[in-house]
Structure 1
Amino acid sequence: MELNKNMMQKTVLALVLLAVAALSAFVVSERVSAPEYHKASMEALEEKKITVMEMTAAVAASSIAVAAIPGDATTPLADQIAELGSYLMIAAGAVMLEKFLLAITGHAAFSLLIPAACVLGILGMFLSSGVLKRLALRLAVTGLAIFMVIPASLKVSSLIEEAFEVSQTIEEAEKAAGAVEEEAAEASGEEKGLSGWILGVGEKLNGAVDQAKKALGRFVDAVAVLIIINCVIPVLVLWFFLWLIKTAFSVDIHVPADRFLPGR
C-alpha cells in the first residue's frame, strides 16, 4: 500500500514536472524571447550605447583639436585624451554584449535549462538518484539566475547613475570638449587670423593648455563612470549570482531535494 502511494506521488509529480517543462519550453520561452518583453531594457541599453558613442566622438574631436595647437606642449595631453577612446570602445562592446545576452538568455534558460532540470528531476525520482535530483535543482536555479542577471545589472546601474549623478559628469565632460575645441581653434589662429594669433600667442597657448588639462580630467571622470556602469557593474552582478548559487549549494541539500522530489 505504501509502495503504491509512493509510486502515485512520483507519477503525479512527474506529470507536474512534464507540464512545467512544456510550459517553460513552448510558452514562457516564446514570451521572454519576444522583443516586446525586453523593450524597456533594450531602450536603456540603446541609450547607454548612444552615450558611449557620443563620448567617444567628443574624445576623438578633442584629441585632434589639442594636437593641432602649435608647439609640443599639448602633444602628451592629446595622446592621453586619444588613449581614453580605447576604454570607451570596451564600454561600447560591453553594452553590445549585454544586448546580445539579453536576447538569448531567456530563451536558453526556459527552452533548455528549465526543461532539462525537469527531466532530470523525473529521472532522479524513478531511479532514486540523489545526484540527479541535486543536478536538477542546480540547473533550475542556474537557468533563473542567467535570465535575471542582465535586468538586475541594468537596475543596479540605474540606481548608481541616479545616486552619483552620472549624467552630470558626462555633461561636464562634453562641455569641456566644446571648450577645449574653442580654445584650440583660437590658439591655432583659426578665428582671429594669423596676425591676431602672433600678438596673443603666449596667452592663447596657455589658455588652450589649461583647457586641455581640464578636459582631460573631465574625460577621465566620465570614462571611469562609463566603464563602471557598463563593465564593472554587470560583472559584479554576475559574480554575485554565481556566489549566491555556490553558497546555496555548498550546504547540504539532500533534505530539500528529497522533499520536493521524493523517491529515496
Structure 2
Amino acid sequence: MAYEFIKVERDGPITTVTLNRPEVMNALHSPAHFELAEAFDAFAADPEQWVAIVTGAGERAFSAGNDLKHQAGGGKMGSPPSGFAGLTSRFDLTKPLIAAVNGVAMGGGFEIALACDIIIASEAAVFALPEPRVGLAALAGGLHRLPRAIGTKRAMSMILTARRVSAAEGKDLGFVAEVTKPDALMATAMTWAKGICELGPMSIRASKEAVYKGLDEPSLEAALKAQNQYPAIAALYRSEDFVEGPLAFSQKRAPAWKGR
C-alpha cells in the first residue's frame, strides 16, 4: 500500500515503519496518525510478519512529536483509537516492536519510542517530554510508561524539568538498550530483530503479553495464577511451534518456526 507520510518495508518476517516527514522533523499530524494506525493494523494481522522496527526519516529526528504548527494553524486534529502514531493505546499487540531512534525524540516522539518494547539509539538521539514548556502534558503514555520503565524518581527528574537526555544517559537510566554510531543504527536494530526472529514467535508473543499483563496484576501470585488465561499464552499451547521447539531440540536441529 502506498502511504504519503510514512514508509513501510518488509525484509522476510521483519517490517520497518519509517516516519516520513523529515521537513518537520517527523512531527505527526492527524493524517500521519491514521496512516500509522493502518500500517500497524496490517502488521498485527499478517502472520508472516513477526517483528517491527520503527524509525524516522533523515538524520535530525526520530520524531519531534505532535505537529504544533499544524495544530496552531487550524489543521485537522484527531487520532485513531490506537492512539498517537497508531501505537500509544495499542495494548493488544503481542508482536515485538523495536524503536530505532536516529535523532530527536521529543514529546510524542519519545512516547512512540516508549510504546515500543526495545529502544536502540544513535549517539545523536535526544529524549525529552517537553510538553510543559508549551503548556501541555505528555498524555499519550509518556507520564505512565516512563515511570514504569525507569522508576518514579528517575522519571520525575525528567518529567518535572522537561530536560533533554542523551542516548548515553538514556542507557544509564535504563530505557535505552543499546547506543550505536549514527550510521550503524539500522543495522544494529536489524540485528536485534533477526535475533528475535530466531526464537519461537509464539513464545515471544506469549512472553511479551505475560510481562505487560503481569505488571498490571495486583501481585506476583495473581500474575502466576492469571497467566494461563492470557490469549497469547493459550495460543502458544495450541500452536504447532509448541511441538516443533522440543522436537527440534531432541533431534539436534534448528527449529522450523511457523508462527502458528
Higher helix proportion? 1
- TM-score using structure 2 length: 0.20
- TM-score using structure 1 length: 0.20
Instruction: Kindly name which structure, 1 or 2, has the bigger radius of gyration based on alpha carbons.
Output: 1
Higher strand proportion? 2
Higher relative CO (CA 8 A, sep ≥ 6), structure 1 or 2? 1
